Chains A and B, each alone.
Chain A
């Protein structure tokens, strides 16, 4: 059974700092990995999706990397801003599931202090 773990559970940084969020998964047989952002009281917004054949994806100040063999992904946020404060979740789509079912981590709650 695929398990997804995110460390740390919470992170507080000063504005302007570069930071890394971690995601690990137990089964390396995946189709893709997706990073989401969740604001309080809101749904999840997709940030980046990395296919299993890719090593990284970039969008603006965000860069996500994938090391499938070691079961790890990182989300790098450059020059953090207070508006980046949210919970970040990663989710993997295992290769063997039907219906494209995702397995989610528990999230990292990020606070960027002005």
Chain B
């Protein structure tokens, strides 16, 4: 079982560049999430999706966009990279029908914007 897979693992961007962080899961989970983790901080929710075609903003959505065209994939788009977006990004997923189901995380994408 692959679980939640994120690519790339590392990326360096220049200010103003754009990129897409990829996330895919093979567990047929309806709910998917994007978090960012800054040093010494907890995880902050950027965007989430409760199913294909449905997305919603989390705590810190500014500067990001998402789409959910399939159940498996939930890419995160940075349009105009800024130094404040330097962080580690985690994608996660869980089953929708089981209220107590745990969250499954990918291994993260470490992004540096210079």
> Per a CB cutoff under 8 Å, which of B41, B45, B108 touches A43?
B108
Given contacts A32-B100, A43-B106, A49-B100, contact A98 B42 (CB under 8 A): no
* CB pair B102 A106 closer than 8 Å: no
CB distance from A91 to the nearest CB of B (A): 8
* A106 vs B37: C-alpha distance when bound (angstroms): 9
> Per a CB cutoff under 8 Å, which of B40, B41, B90 touches A44?
B90
Interface residues on A, range: 20 to 34
* A89 vs B50: C-alpha distance when bound (angstroms): 24
> Per a CB cutoff under 8 Å, which of A49, A89, A100 touches B42?
A89
Contacts of A42 in B (CB 8 A): 107-108
List residues of A (41-69) whose CB comes within 8 Å of B's CBs: 41-46, 49, 51
Count B interface residues, CB 8 Å. Answer: 29
Contacts of A101 in B (CB 8 A): 33, 45, 48, 58
**B interface residue numbers (CB < 8 A to A):** 4, 31, 33, 35, 40-45, 48-50, 56, 58, 90, 92, 94, 96, 99-100, 102-108, 110
Leading 10 A-B pairs by shortest Cβ distance:
A43-B105, A104-B42, A46-B102, A44-B105, A104-B43, A106-B42, A43-B107, A99-B48, A49-B102, A99-B50
Listed A/B pairs (14) with beta-carbon separation below 8 Å = A4-B42, A34-B102, A36-B103, A43-B106, A43-B107, A46-B102, A98-B56, A99-B48, A100-B96, A100-B99, A101-B33, A102-B45, A104-B35, A106-B41
